[in-house]
Amino acid sequence: MQIKQYQFKATLIPSLITVALLYIMISLGFWQLDRAEYKANIQSLIESKQGTATISLDSIEKQEENWLYQPVFVSGKFDLQHQIYLDNQVNNMLAGYSVFTPLKISDDLAILVNRGWLPVGNSRANLPDISVTSEMLRIDGLLSHAPSKTLLLSDNVNSYLQWPAVLQYVDIIEIEKQLEYKLLPMIIIMDQSTQTKLQPLPVKINMRSEKHTAYAFQWFGLSLTLLIIYIVVNTKNTNKI
C-alpha cells in the first residue's frame, strides 16, 4: 500500500505476531472494563445495604442479589471443635488470621461466622487464642460469600488433620465434608465489636472499579503504541530509496 511517497510493506511473521499481541492486549483491556463494571455494581450494592434494617436470618430471600451484604441476626451456639484460622490476612500491613467458627442454628445446620481478625503474633508455631463461649448467642453481621481463593500453588493446600485448622482458603463445601452437619452456602461477617474479642474488619473490595478502569486504559494505550510502532517500522519513504 502506498500513499504519496510513503509505502507500507510488512512481512508475514512480524504481522502475525503483532496481530496476536494486539488481540491479547485489547482483550485484556475489555476484561478489565468488565471487572470495573462488576466491582462498581458490588460497591453500589454494599453502599445501598448500609443502614438498612437488620433482619432475622430465617427471613432472608433466596435470591443472592437480595441477601448479599444484608445485615442479619441469628441465634445459635458456636462449634468450638471446628474453628478455622484463615491464613495470610493482612490488616494495616500486619500479617494475621481471619477466624471462622461454625454457628449451629439447629442440630443439623450451621453457618460459618467470620468473627474477626487478629495478628499472627511472635511465632506461627504458637497459634493465637481464639476461644469463645459455648453458650447460646445472638450474632449480628452481614451476609456474604466465603472469601474468594487467591493464587494457589497446589490443589490440596488445606489440611483438616487437626483442629483448629489453618487454611489457605475457605471452601464451604470442602469444610462441610469434615463436619457432621450442613453449612449454609454463605457466611456472616460479624460487625459488632461488642460481640467479639477479635477485630471486625469492614466489608471492602480488594480492588475498586477505578483501578480496573485505569488498567484497561493502560492496555488500550499499549495496543495503540504497538500499532503505531508496527506502522512506522513497516512504512518507507520511497523518495529516500
E-strand ranges in 159-221 read 165-167, 182-190
Q: How many CB atoms lie within 10 A of CB 192?
A: 12
pLDDT at residue 218 tops 60: yes
Alpha carbon distance 16, 133 (integer Å): 65
Going by pLDDT thresholds of 50, 70 and 90, the confidence category of residue 99 is: very high
Is the residue at 190 inside a domain?
A: yes
Is the residue at 182 inside a domain?
A: yes
In this structure, the answer to whether residues 93 and 27 fall within a common structural domain is: no
In this structure, the answer to whether residues 115 and 187 fall within a common structural domain is: yes
Using DSSP, state whether 99 is helix, strand or coil.
strand
In this structure, the answer to whether residues 184 and 216 fall within a common structural domain is: no
The boundaries of the domain holding residue 228 are: 10-39+209-240
In this structure, the answer to whether residues 214 and 147 fall within a common structural domain is: no
Strand partners, 157: none
From first CA to last CA, the distance across the chain in angstroms is: 16
Amino acid at 56: S
pLDDT at residue 151 tops 60: no
Longest pairwise C-alpha distance within the chain: 90
Cell numbers for 90, please give them: 493482612
Q: What is the CA radius of gyration of the chain?
A: 26
Is the residue at 133 inside a domain?
A: yes
E-strand ranges in 79-136 read 84-91, 94-106, 109-119
Is the residue at 99 inside a domain?
A: yes
In this structure, the answer to whether residues 176 and 226 fall within a common structural domain is: no
In this structure, the answer to whether residues 75 and 189 fall within a common structural domain is: yes
Opening angle at CA 192, ends 186 and 196, nearest 5:
90
Q: Mean pLDDT score of the chain, rounded to an integer? A: 85
Number of structural domains (the chain) is 2
Counting residues of the chain whose pLDDT is more than 70, the rounded percentage is 91
Strand 6-8: give its sheet, edge to edge: 2-3, 6-8, 235-237
71-93 pLDDT per residue, tens: 999 999 999 999 999 988 888 88
Is the residue at 54 inside a domain?
A: no
6-35 pLDDT per residue, tens: 677 778 888 999 999 999 999 999 999 998
pLDDT at residue 173 tops 70: yes
Is the residue at 1 inside a domain?
A: no
In this structure, the answer to whether residues 91 and 189 fall within a common structural domain is: yes
In this structure, the answer to whether residues 175 and 81 fall within a common structural domain is: yes
Is the residue at 30 inside a domain?
A: yes
Q: Report H helices in 128-196.
A: 172-176
99 contacts 130 by C-beta, under 8 angstroms: yes
Q: How many CB atoms lie within 10 A of CB 155?
A: 6
- How many whole angstroms from its chain centre is CA 55? 25
pLDDT at residue 6 in the model: 67
pLDDT at residue 1 tops 60: no
In this structure, the answer to whether residues 75 and 110 fall within a common structural domain is: yes
In this structure, the answer to whether residues 183 and 225 fall within a common structural domain is: no
In this structure, the answer to whether residues 104 and 136 fall within a common structural domain is: yes
pLDDT at residue 4 tops 70: no
144 contacts 187 by C-beta, under 8 angstroms: yes
pLDDT at residue 86 in the model: 92
- What is the tally of helices (H) and strands (E) in the chain? 4, 11
Is the residue at 191 inside a domain?
A: yes
pLDDT at residue 158 in the model: 79
Going by pLDDT thresholds of 50, 70 and 90, the confidence category of residue 2 is: low
In this structure, the answer to whether residues 97 and 167 fall within a common structural domain is: yes
